[in-house]
Homo-oligomer: A and B are copies of this chain.
């Protein structure tokens, strides 16, 4: 599992039928300084997270559990939680990425 920041949305018309009606987010993993890394992953979001919000992203069987449509589906990454707060040794991080972090 990782914590990442919602960077944006993805739309696709031509897709596996099991992707129909789902919300796809682009998420940037967070590094140990609370900054975003250059990498991106795509996650199905059943929670309605907004751009700039920090989310907990899970993979594989855990993602299929979160989505709740069984195991025969064409995706394997999902948002399992929207982060309220993180305490990282010497700093507290709120739910949104601050202006000066973007």
A residues neighboring B (CB under 8 Å): 1-3, 7-16, 18-19, 24, 26, 28-33, 36-43, 47, 51-52, 56, 58-66, 71-78, 80-89, 102
Q: Are A12 and B75 in contact (CB under 8 A)?
A: no
In the complex, what's the smallest C-beta–C-beta distance from A41 to chain B, in angstroms? 6
Q: Are A74 and B62 in contact (CB under 8 A)?
A: yes
Interchain CA distance A9-B87 in the complex, whole Å:
5
Instruction: Find A74's partner among B43, B52, B65, B77 (CB 8 Å cutoff).
Output: B65
Q: Are A83 and B11 in contact (CB under 8 A)?
A: yes
Interchain CA distance A97-B31 in the complex, whole Å:
18
Q: Are A82 and B12 in contact (CB under 8 A)?
A: yes
- With A12-B83, A15-B81 as given contacts, are A61 and B71 in contact (CB-CB < 8 Å)? yes
Interchain CA distance A72-B32 in the complex, whole Å:
29
- Additional A-B contacts beyond A51-B89, A65-B74 (12; CB < 8 A): A7-B88, A7-B89, A11-B84, A14-B47, A16-B80, A24-B56, A32-B36, A32-B37, A58-B75, A60-B76, A62-B74, A62-B75
